[in-house]
Structure 1
């Protein structure tokens, strides 16, 4: 029998028919300065901006980013690309409220200071050591380097707004947990 789910109190043993086709699409982070954040996510992490949506009447923009495979075909047509974007997995939405980049009082809660809530997003990399060298070359801020702490082979970096990003190499993760 194929794997279904690990079982713990509260976990449904079966997937309900009513949820067939549901797909986790994206997570959203608020950003202060789109130029700074877009540079970080596109240059340092290699993400591509799939679509920008502006909402003039509410003074904000949404940037949808992903790390598509090199051979993946993304639609050129804006409407089709928008539909395609909202059908994918692993999308990052950056929300910019216009004017925050010029307001010294604007800072977003990273979720890790008190009171804790949101924790982090995660990127899997093919070679953790090479990724760490790349982050060092780009003066990326660390929360935790892979050699630090009790959980070795896992790094945490910060984006320009202070959000934590976990960095893992899947091949090193098999021995984690119980």
Structure 2
């Protein structure tokens, strides 16, 4: 029998027919300074901006980013077609900038890991955790936890410019995780 889902109390055994075709498209985080955040996400994490949407009447912009992969389809050049394409992808990061927030010296976002806890982190997988750790050090990235620290080894946490946590993992090292 093919795998469909691990089973725990509360898990519905068969997918409701009405949810066929649903896909997780993106998760959103608010950012204070788009220039600083985009430099981090594109220059340090290697993401690309697929689409920026400005909402002048509401004074905010959305930036949709992904980690390009081999064999991934090429985004369309036409902005309307690329918008549709972007909203049909999986696992994107949306950075939301409320205009003027970069000029507010008191503005800080809750990272979700201090009290009261809530949102925790996003995760980026890398092909070589040791090389990624050196890359982050070379780029002055703040570590919350290095791969050799704590009880959960082979997992790192770094902080982005707004204080959000980003978990960094090398999938090949995680086969015994949770056993």
CA offsets 1:134-174 (integer angstroms, 9 cap, x no match) = 00000100110000000000000000000000000000111
TM-score calculated relative to the size of structure 1: 0.98
Shift of 1:71: 4.3
Counterpart position of 2:32? 32
Counterpart position of 1:140? 141
Aligned residues: 178
Structure 2: 5+ residue runs without aligned partners?
Answer: none
Counterpart position of 2:162? 161
Shift of 1:53: 0.4
Counterpart position of 1:172? 173
Shift of 1:5: 0.5
Secondary structure of the residue aligned to 2:118 is coil
Shift of 1:74: 1.2
Structure 1: 5+ residue runs without aligned partners?
Answer: none
TM-score calculated relative to the size of structure 2: 0.98
Q: Distance in 1 between matches of 2:29 and 2:4?
A: 31
Shift of 1:70: 4.5
Counterpart position of 1:19? 19
Runs of 4+ more than 3 Å apart: none
